[in-house]
A and B are shown apart, each in its own frame.
Chain A
Amino acid sequence: AQSVTQLDSQVPVFEEAPVELRCNYSSSVSVYLFWYVQYPNQGLQLLLKYLSGSTLVKGINGFEAEFNKSQTSFHLRKPSVHISDTAEYFCAVSTPSNFGNEKLTFGTGTRLTIIP
């Protein structure tokens, strides 16, 4: 079974500063990795995903993440944050199940707070 660890439950960052949200995973098979963002009282929106190919993945809103197989990590980065980036961020991993149906395992989330 796979698991996801988001070490930082809360990350405060000053506006226009860079940010890195950490995600580590554990799996005995190949995985697919995702970052989702959740604004207050809303559903989740996909930021980016890694399925295969280039280990540097670019997503929406200026975010990017790098897949590091040796360190089993998929950290999310943004070079300059804005107030509007204040939200909860979830890392997730997927692996095929017995039914050929894909299930996502989520981390516990990181609350990103942008300080003006």
Chain B
Amino acid sequence: SQTIHQWPATLVQPVGSPLSLECTVEGTSNPNLYWYRQAAGRGLQLLFYSVGIGQISSEVPQNLSASRPQDRQFILSSKKLLLSDSGFYLCAWGEGADYEQYFGPGTRLTVT
């Protein structure tokens, strides 16, 4: 069966510091991968998605970036965090056949 992992689970970082969040998927090949952000009291905002290694599409201009160095690994990064980057970050994967996406447990980021 397929599983999706995210780490760290929680993170507190000062403004201006770098960020690296990691997501890995097991039990499937060539999945579509997604990064979402959920701000307090708001819905989910799609940040990036990837249909293959090295292929990244950005949905919202911001100081975040994403990379997919391996088939089942998706990384969200920032060189300098802003206060507005605080939120709950969710990684998801999908195979496209049934349009469903499967979500990881999330990372709660607090920028101080």
A interface residue numbers (CB < 8 A to B): 32, 34, 36, 41-46, 49, 51, 90, 94, 99-109
Contact = CB atoms under 8 A, between A and B. Distances in A.
Q: Lowest 8 A-B CB distances belong to which pairs? A: A43-B103, A108-B43, A106-B44, A44-B103, A94-B99, A102-B99, A101-B51, A32-B99
Contact of B100 (A46, A106, A109): A46
A51 B43 CA distance: 22
A106 B57 CA distance: 18
B57 A99 contact: yes
Given A44-B90, A90-B43, A104 B104 contact: no
Contact of A107 (B43, B103, B104): B43
Contact of A99 (B34, B44, B51, B108): B51
A41 B103 CA distance: 13
A51 B98 CA distance: 8
Given A49-B100, A100-B96, A108 B42 contact: yes
Contacts of A104: 34, 46, 99, 101
A49 B99 contact: yes
B100 A34 contact: yes
Contact of B104 (A41, A43, A100): A43
Contacts of B51: 99-101
A42 B103 CA distance: 9
B99 A43 contact: no
B89 to A, nearest CB: 10
A88 B51 CA distance: 29
Nearest to A34: B100
Contacts of B105: 42-43
A101 B98 contact: no
Contacts of B94: 102
19 contacts: A41-B106, A41-B108, A42-B105, A43-B90, A43-B92, A44-B103, A49-B98, A49-B100, A51-B98, A94-B99, A99-B51, A100-B51, A101-B51, A102-B32, A102-B94, A102-B96, A102-B101, A104-B34, A108-B42
A32 B103 CA distance: 18
Contacts of B43: 90, 106-109
